[in-house]
Amino acid sequence: MKKSIDYPYLISAKELLENKVVPRCDFHIHTNYTDGKATVGQVFEKAIAFGLEAIAFTEHTEPWHNLNPEWFSEYCKEIRENREIYKDKIKAYIGIEAPAISFEGELGATKEMFDGAEFILGAAHRYPGIEGRKVSELKNNEAIDLEFKTLIGLATSPLINSIAHIGGTCSKYCTPFPTHLIREVVQLAVKNNVAIEVNPVYHMPLRNFIELCAEENANITLGSNAHGFNDIGLIVKRIGEEI
Ligand SMILES: [Zn+2]
Ligand SMILES: [Zn+2]
């Protein structure tokens, strides 16, 4: 089940467009525990230098990203140690980005990860049921269909705080994911109290995506999808430029 955290990370898309005040938080950051470049400590330094108030580390849970069976407990320990050091400067949360492994919203993560995570992004990565094939090998209409079914499952999940990069996998590897299907996913997520991530890697121009979320009364979360040193806080900068 979702945990409550002491930072107002859920943002009304409508209020964001009306007030034009971008919360200084970034809830999608990777480190060198998986495919990011920065260490946990370097992320803290960069986030504080950028002027962020809160961050969530959202490490990938697919087992091939880190073959050390101890990695998750080390990751949690390192975040806890650093957030104690920097507690007067920034809030930081332990999170995961877990892939859907069925069309019913089940996630690929261990019990240890669910227990340890304070923030959970659910993602459509390699779609359920395509074992042995890559997303890039799918026909366009097949990719759209599978992305949609995967996202619909996530939109009903009581486990996740927010759906990462809606349409991103289909758009990156096959064909743009249709807006009317994004809207259907957002509508279902709203009914189930699941938030929608706004992501500068996949949702440009951000303004259109945020407007769609506002029309459906959705809560959004901000996530840079940061994998390097200079993209921490990018979502805050980009939204500020666009709204
Ligand atoms: Zn992802
Ligand atoms: Zn990610």
Cα 226 to ligand 2 centroid, rounded to whole Å: 7
Amino acid identity, position 62: E
Give the Å distances, CA to CA, from 4 to 54, 80, 117.
14, 17, 11
Give the count of beta carbons closer than 10 Å to the beta carbon of residue 104. 13
Cα 98 to ligand 1 centroid, rounded to whole Å: 8
Cα 212 to ligand 1 centroid, rounded to whole Å: 21
Ligand nearest to the CA of 154: 1
For residue 171 the two structure tokens come to: 């758009």
Cα 88 to ligand 1 centroid, rounded to whole Å: 30
Residues of the chain with pLDDT under 70: none
Amino acid identity, position 196: I
The DSSP secondary structure of 77-96, one letter per residue, reads HHHHHHHHHTTTT-EEEEEE
Cα 57 to ligand 2 centroid, rounded to whole Å: 10
CA 14 to CA 40: how far, in whole Å? 33
CA 150 to CA 156: how far, in whole Å? 11
Q: Phi and psi (nearest 5°) for 47?
A: -65, -40
Cα 210 to ligand 2 centroid, rounded to whole Å: 19
**Is the distance from CB of 222 to CB of 195 less than 8 angstroms?**
no
Cα 164 to ligand 1 centroid, rounded to whole Å: 6
CA 201 to CA 199: how far, in whole Å? 6
Cα 58 to ligand 2 centroid, rounded to whole Å: 7
Give Cα 179 distance to the centre of its chain.
Answer: 19
Ligand nearest to the CA of 169: 1
Cα 122 to ligand 1 centroid, rounded to whole Å: 8
Length of the chain equals 243
Ligand nearest to the CA of 27: 2
**Is the distance from CB of 165 to CB of 206 less than 8 angstroms?**
no
Q: Domain 11-242 carries which CATH code?
A: 3.20.20.140
Question: Could you tell me the residue ranges of all domains in the chain?
Answer: 11-242
Ion ligand 1: residue ranges with CB closer than 5 A: 123
3-state secondary structure of 149: helix
With tokens 């923030």, the residue in question is 119
